[in-house]
Amino acid sequence: MSNSSLPAACRMYGIRNCDSMKKAFAWLTANGVAYEFVDYRKAAPSEEQLADWSRRLGWRNLLNTRGTTWRGLDEAARADIDENKALRLLACHPTLIRRPVIDGGDDLLLVGFDPERYALAFGGTGK
């Protein structure tokens, strides 16, 4: 997808000081990709938005089980995860959502930073 065909409402969700976010900010800026940044800590995604992302990408791709928020949950919260439980956890603890999430509407939803996927989606250099 080239920059000119990006949806007007391309939004990047995450936490500003996260390393993956910093890489994504730098890549998007270097490749001239316009976006609106939404900080999870100031405006958490709604339950409906999380359900939409889960439908489009799968809840396992959204749930960050490698971070400090996940490790800070008690064992009962981490046990027997299914989609409903994962979505409830994501709604209650937005920092459990993998970062960044770039949502450009039905045709574009990316999770995590991957320069090659970004290049394919946005027509950039991949660096």
Could you tell me the CATH number of the domain that includes residue 46?
3.40.30.10
Model confidence at 106, in pLDDT bands (50, 70, 90)?
A: confident
Catalytic residues: 18
pLDDT tens, residue by residue, 51-102: 999 999 999 999 999 999 999 999 999 999 999 999 999 999 999 999 999 9
How many domains does the chain divide into?
1
How far apart (Å, rounded) are the C-alpha atoms in residues 43 and 41? 6
Is residue 58 domain-resident?
Answer: yes
Model confidence at 124, in pLDDT bands (50, 70, 90)?
A: low
pLDDT tens, residue by residue, 43-57: 999 999 999 999 999
Is residue 88 domain-resident?
Answer: yes
- The pLDDT of residue 127 is 60
How far apart (Å, rounded) are the C-alpha atoms in residues 127 and 116? 8
Is residue 40 domain-resident?
Answer: yes
Is residue 32 domain-resident?
Answer: yes
- The pLDDT of residue 4 is 43
Q: Residue 96: which domain range?
A: 7-122
How many other CB atoms are found less than 10 A from the CB of residue 101? 24
| pTM, full prediction | 0.86
Is residue 1 domain-resident?
Answer: no
Full DSSP string of 83-122: HHHHHHHHHH-GGGB-S-EEE-STT-EEES--HHHHHHHH
